[in-house]
Amino acid sequence: MPMLLGFAIGTLLTAGVTTALVLRHMARVRAADARVRRAKRLAELGSMTRGLAHEIKNPLSTIGLNVQLLTEAIEDLSVDDEDRKPLVRRLGSLGREAERLRGILTDFLEYAGELHLELHAADLNSTIDELVDFFMPQAQQQGVQIRSDLASGTLEAWIDPPHIKQAVMNLMLNAVQGMSRQPEGVARELILRTSRGVDEHKRPVVVLHVIDTGPGIAPDAVERIFDPYFTTKSGGSGLGLPTTRRIIDAHFGKIEVHTEEGRGTDFVITLPVEDGGVTHQGASGGG
């Protein structure tokens, strides 16, 4: 009898563990399917909007060229400077606006272009080290001290290093620009920190923090910072952070922000250590 009871308990325990594993696998499959559907919708939308942007950009180039030709023709006319200057000034304003619109469209086309990722196992620490070395002079020029606090040893992740550099660079540029506007004497520090962890499914992940001691982000802006064209900076394109999130999403990772006004901001990027059974090699995403 005790043997039968033990067998029954063992069977129940085995069944429970098997059920948990099956449910976990199903959750992973559903999450992967949702990402694929979202990527497909974004690719379709990106294709339409890229076509529209190209159609607008071409006539803008023609307008800019004709403004330049008209300006040169007016300057060659035998008229008084007082009559010429207002026309040249207006044409100059028109040319600058046309160029500004071309710049906006160029930024958009870059944002909406397809992402062709070459995902493979790579050392995230080495990627961040290279980025810090490259960015150091620009940070120092703005009076910002930059340092890395990296996990020991090799920190392998399933990434496309050039795209990860682009995503993190956007965060670093935002941080330095924000801190450069702070009063003299206020600490200006940018920290890149890596660590190991596990996600909600107990799968191994790597975590990257991009921390600054800047002015922080206002509560009413936090929810919108990843929206295309939303910006709190004068002259900003509003596409840096959306591009970063898009790249992280394409890595099947996630990005979160923790901020406090007057205390700084911490962007937290979580990336998978391995493909987890999902085909990533050559993954692409439309925007």
Name, of 14-23, 96-105, 199-208, the range with top average pLDDT. 199-208
Name, of 37-46, 84-93, 199-208, 221-230, the range with top average pLDDT. 199-208
Domain locations in the chain as residue ranges: 1-113, 118-285
102, 137 Cβ separation under 8 angstroms: no
Average pLDDT in the chain: 82
pLDDT at 216 exceeding the cut of 70: yes
Q: How large is the average pLDDT for residues 229-253?
A: 84
More confident residue, 285 or 83: 83
Which pLDDT value is given to residue 192?
Answer: 98
- The CATH number given to 118-285 is 3.30.565.10
Q: Compute the distance between CA of residue 287 and CA of residue 273 in angstroms, rounded to an integer.
A: 25
Q: Which residues are within 8 A (CB) of 150 and not within 5 positions of it... i.e. 6 or more apart?
A: 125, 128, 129, 192, 193, 194
Which of 151-165, 201-215, 225-239 shows the lowest mean pLDDT across its residues? Answer: 225-239
More confident residue, 265 or 37: 265
More confident residue, 236 or 7: 236
